[in-house]
Amino acid sequence: MIEITFLGSGGGRFITITQFRSTGGFHIRASKNLYVDPGPGALVRSWRYKLDPRRLDAIFVSHRHVDHCNDLEVMIEAMTGGALKRRGTLIASKSVVYGDEAHTPAVSGYHIDVLESVHTPEPGNKIALGEEELLITPCQHSDPTTIGFRMETVYGDISYIPDTAYFEDLLRWHDGSRVLIAAITRPRDMGIPYHMSTDDAVEMLKNMRKKPEVLIMNHIGMKMHFANPYKEAKYLETVTGVKTYIAKEGFKVMLKNDEINVRTMRPARFV
Ligand SMILES: [Zn+2]
Ligand SMILES: [Zn+2]
């Protein structure tokens, strides 16, 4: 079984600064433990849902926007036992590791030095992670080095489409994945550049030859939050026939051979 646990579902600047929805990214427990897009709150929320970040094997960061990379350094410290042992893998966009014209790197040399390996792959590259393999996929976002992935597992594929405009090639990269996690930031009729809306998701799913078994809408922006994302999910499900869920803090997806189950975890109590 593979478990995917969301430590938030928020995205975009206004949801991030208000924390109307938490922005911690998500965790995949397969043969290795992978953390994806550790935005603000990733460390705190990991502990809240008993996902010990010291047990991480790898961290994936799609791009150098604060809602995706804010907690990266502290998560590396956790993965490396307080930066005391060389351990773990970082797979990230070039902008995260090297910075760009507008941004410093999201990770210091000190943190890079305690990692066992660092990858800044191109779309089409494959990276082995235990028994799984990550195929790196392209995006069209305001950070031009943004990357997504398609994780190949014995239970079928898990696709992650982070911040991107919709473009036709997305179909080819993600067609046939069993679980599709996508940043669908905007509701119907309210699309903006560099992000996907409900309309884009409909277009994408309608044109897929083999549709996913489940779609998980993630990266809920402020307009989507107030448009009622559950209504948008229902619409999407009705029009495309694909079972659609809205991610939220504590939402867990369990991928098995014959079925996909979901549940919402309760946060651990703190003293
Ligand atoms: Zn974002
Ligand atoms: Zn972004």
CA distances from 36 to 26, 33, 169, 181, 234 (A): 5, 10, 23, 11, 26
Is 269 part of a structural domain of the chain? no
Domain around 79: 2-264
- With contact defined as beta carbons under 8 Å apart, do 251 and 24 qualify? no
Is 181 part of a structural domain of the chain? yes
Total domains in the fold of the chain:
1
Q: Which residues of 206-244 are buried (b: 16+ CB within 10 A; e: fewer)?
A: eebeebbebbbbbbbbbbbbebebeebbebbeeebebbb
Near ion ligand 1, which residues have CB within 5 Å?
11, 65, 67, 163
Distance CA 186, CA 88 (A): 35
List, for the chain, all residue ranges whose pLDDT scores fall below the cut of 70.
Answer: 270-271
Q: Which ligand is nearest to the CA of 218?
A: 1
Rg of the chain on CA atoms, in Å = 17
Q: Which ligand is nearest to the CA of 143?
A: 2
Cα of 67 to ligand 1 centre, how many Å? 5
Cα of 195 to ligand 2 centre, how many Å? 8
In this predicted structure, what is the pLDDT of residue 207? 96
Is 78 part of a structural domain of the chain? yes
Is 233 part of a structural domain of the chain? yes
**Which residue carries 């994945």 as its tokens?**
177
What are the pLDDT digits (tens) for 162-221?
Answer: 999 999 999 999 999 999 999 999 999 998 999 999 999 999 999 999 999 999 999 999
Cα of 163 to ligand 2 centre, how many Å? 5
In this predicted structure, what is the pLDDT of residue 270? 67
**Which residue carries 């809602």 as its tokens?**
67
Is 271 part of a structural domain of the chain? no
Cβ-based burial of 123 (10 A; exposed 0-12, middle 13-18, buried ≥19): middle
Measured CA angle at 232 (ends 169, 44), to 5 deg: 85
Cα of 25 to ligand 1 centre, how many Å? 10
Q: What DSSP character marks residue 136? A: E
CATH number, domain of 188, equals 3.60.15.10
**Among 105, 148, 100, residue whose Cα is nearest residue 124:** 148
Cα of 14 to ligand 2 centre, how many Å? 13
In this predicted structure, what is the pLDDT of residue 57? 98
- With contact defined as beta carbons under 8 Å apart, do 159 and 177 qualify? yes
